[in-house]
Structure 1
Amino acid sequence: MASPWLQLMDDTIRACAAHGTPDLLRRLRERRAQLIDPKLRILVIGETGQGKSQLVNALVNAPVCATGDDLTTTVPAVVEYAEAPSAAVVLNPVVRHDRMLESGPSSQLVPAAVDSVTADANREAAQPGAEIARAHIGLPRALLATGLVLIDTPPAGDAARTATALSEILQADAVLMATDATSEFSPSELELLTQVARVCPTVMVALTKIDIVPGWRVVAERNRARLAKAGLNATVVPVSAALRLAAAKAGDRDLNAESGFEELMHRLKHEWLDQADVLHTRSVAALAGMTVDQLVPPLQDEFSATQRGDSPEAVARWQAAGRKLEQLQQDSARWQTLLGDEISDLIADLEYDLRDRTRQILRDVDEYFDAADPSRDWETFEDWLTDNLATVAETNFNWLLERFDWIAHKLARQVAPGDEDLLHELLVADAPDDHASGVRKPRVERFSVGQKLFVGMRGSYTGLLMFGLATTVAGMPLINPISLGAGAAFGAKSVFEERGNRLKRRQATAKTAAQRHVDDFFLAYGKESKDAARLLQRALRDRFTAYAQQQRQEISASAKAIKQVIDTEAAQRKQRAQEIRTAVNELAAIRQRLKTMAAARITPSSPRGLIA
């Protein structure tokens, strides 16, 4: 059965794979691979001049890490167990095409001398374009044979160096910090320890250079007090690397005990090596806590975003589409009403124009037949009347088309502004049938010779009788020259009057016939004209209705698509919110588990070889 810390690590990796960054996931997986390795990786850190590298040399009793004021560590140096002394420089992997190409060990390791590998690596790494990642040293030491791996890191100090040191701490099981006894912790050292403890809670402080500071005990106690005040659970072990190396060279056990390294190595073995599972538990708890702290805020922000409702832009577009549909409906009712009113006005104006023009023709007819004789001039009159009525029909119809064209374009600017093809091939209508031809000729009474003779005789008889009787009074006979003259005059007058009366009756009959024909024309053409106007009205209405329907369908389809997007986004937000809740709950469960693991404490070993 896997250890609880390993299960927690796997759960953290799964959570990071689902919600974290690739870089963080890669580090977690690398850290998991290191945790299942039986080796215990101890990171040695410290600021410049604190004896960090010399501390590593004293622990392994070999000058493997370069020391000196002019030999500042620039690349990490990894010191671990090997059956025979060996050293190599590890090069950075080659980066090509935006991906890391892992090389084999033979291509990454460059063999080097054990006593100069760190010095050479530090100098070369300081050069521009250097590809050195770290120095690797193998030594046959009992301390290292237990699985202990020491990593000497570049000194902390400024922001860049501190960030580099903290990135290395992510791969450490425990941290050993070097600080010399010449002074108490500096604020930067306390800040570094605070940051280190968040990532790796197993920390020990080596108070170096006690051989040159007589009052180191006071410094040690003050440092312990400052650590306690800062809430940092770190043991302070005073040591002297110079005494340790001198004791090892002379084989002096008392001097070795005085150096403090016996106590330091005792703690490393019993508090760290022998309790590696506790260190792993604490390390995983800290790493899981750091991961959860990085994963939860973005999830909470995303959850807050899912609770803000629909996208304001999409909702605004959907509402705009609804308002456009409503406006389209109102515009449709408005232009239909306007079209009806305009056509009604047009028909009334057309009827008035037709009536006025036909009345003028009738007036001309009256004037014409006041003088003309229908019996002689009817054919000429018929041609004239036909031409004038045809002209009236043509003029009235052209006016209908012009007026309707004006109405159509006026409405088109409201219905479809900017659409010039809307009225294409619409304003075409056939002229009404020709109702101006076929004037019925009236029955004209002819004044024949016999009728003239009869009328003349009747008038002559009257005149003869009237004047004959009158002259008999004078003693003249009934028939005398006067009565005969009078009869002839009366006869001629009767014929002349009868001819005039007959002309007037023919003229009246012609006027009546012409008026009847004009009225028939007015009724027939007026009906045809109104029908043409109605046909044009229906054609325009159908065209506008089809256009409005097309617009309505397009807007409805757009609104439907937007609504589907809104609904889909809402469903996705709801689903994502549920996923985030589940993820946050899982992270909360991880946090609860890591709290229990973070409470794991190292069992302190019994003091041994402490300097009095």
Structure 2
Amino acid sequence: MPDFMTALDASSHLAEGKARGDLTERLDGVKKLVGQRSCTVAFVGEFKRGKSTLVNALLQTAVCPVDADIVTGVPTLVRYGETLQVLAHARHPGSDDVTTDSLRLEDLAGVVADGADRGAGELFSVEVQVRHRLLRHGLCLLDTPGVGGLDSVHGQLSLASLNAAGGLVFVTDASQELTAPELDYLTTAVGRCPRAALVVTKVDLHQHWRRIVETNRGHLQNAGLDLPVIPVSSFLRLRAARQPALNAESGFEQLVGFLADVVRRTTAGEASAVAHEVDFVTTQLARQSDAERVVLARPEASAAVLDRLGQAHQRAHSLSAPSAAWQQVLNDGIQDLVADAEYDLAARLRTVLRDVKDIIDESDPKDTWEDTQAWLRRQVAEASVANRDLVVRRANQLSDAVAEQFDFESGAGVELELEAVSRTLADLEIPSAATFSMPGGRLGSVLSGGRLAAYVPLMALSLALHTTVLIIPPAALLGALLGRLIFRMESKKQRSYRQGQARTAAAKFIDEIAFEMNKDARDGLRRTQRRLRDEFQSRAGSIQASTGAALDAASRASRLDPAARQARAAELDEETRQLGDIRDHVRALASPVTPAAAVPVGSRAERATGG
């Protein structure tokens, strides 16, 4: 990255010399991103597997609460900071505004614990900044809530966040081999974040940890997962702060090596993006030099060169117009994607609603509603993540389609947030079974019970008055049978009514989820549309400025006398050499890690504008 920063500075100097403020601004934006670069590694696993202790041991600093009775319920991000600082990010009900409050480290446990009272605001993440050499180059450690199995709400939302993570550490312990839900979750997670490792904690507490580790390796092999399996002892790592010799025995050396490799690979991707930007800028700067050189070398062809440059400038101007073809592709694509996303979500939630109605019809909500609620939340979370994946995939395809229409690679992915979905799942309440009652509320139940209580003896008395004493026992039996039948009918009636209320509650919950998710998708796609529009519009403006500058420079060169031409040609040779050196340098830096980076972004755009 220092070498890339040198190349960025050199490119900025050349752009300033040509009064190209647009290109200088682009490079300043790249410098800012490079300075703020980060690589997030998510620590994921079931509850009480030692994730928080693992993070603390890795940094040899108590940054995550690890009390025996604490279960992490809020994601905690640990990043580099010059001073120790704890920041709580919250959102208040009915508002999208985010508030950030400072906390004391000793108060963190009471905030991140699952089920903790966090006041009126909804705490959605905590950030801990700590000065540690392991974090100095952008590594961020994300301690996630326990997933509770592949089909849990936490599990589904954690899966959705892995697309943006640079690496994954799946944490289990040496008390038992990987369970089927853990293996299923890990398989799905690796599909989203391939840079993953399985860490087995608590090897110091279990005598047969080696057998567990080998068994887990076999499970991974059978599942087709080629991941490193790293057994560690957090206890020994924490002791190593005072006795460094214990580091090797703790197993953390291999984990640190894995994290370093993740950071290197993430940095390689950033290097490719920097190389693309520098290549685009140098290509634009070279337009003016190349046009002048052609005119100076062949004065007799000046008229033809100026004519071609004029045509190229007109084509570049058309790229910036609202009626440009890429603008139409973008606008139409966003509209189609919004409609498809809403249809996909409606289809998925309709399936969930149909299934939950079947479950309700087969049981009495009075006894099963709590389990049904949990199942419903899991299914809605799964549907939301699948819908988000569709939106992100289609948005990336749209980005590529617009780039193809613009005739150069965009070099930027699309990232959509799932904040509204997780917020909705947390905020929306499903009525409890205690609220399901017959019409009339408590008075209705009392009247219904009174009718049943009075009907049976009245029936028996009526029969007794019209018969002899000898047939009173049969009359009583008949009254009992009729009473039992009436009780069954009344119980069935009440159960049917509770089922109706449960179906209504489930439908209302799904409708509100759909409303929030559709709004979230539309907002995300609008942001994507603006981001793509601004990026391509900026590039179109730079290309237009480059072709205009090339046309002006060529026109000036055509009017120079022979002596001035020779002097100017020498200046352009030096300028071309500098641009070539910068371009070759960044390509060489990027090509060992990402060969595709050697294909310049600007080359296809150059052809599109006749350069």
| Fold equivalence (TM over 0.5) | no
Q: In terms of Rg, which structure is larger?
A: 1
TM range (shorter): 0.3 to 0.5
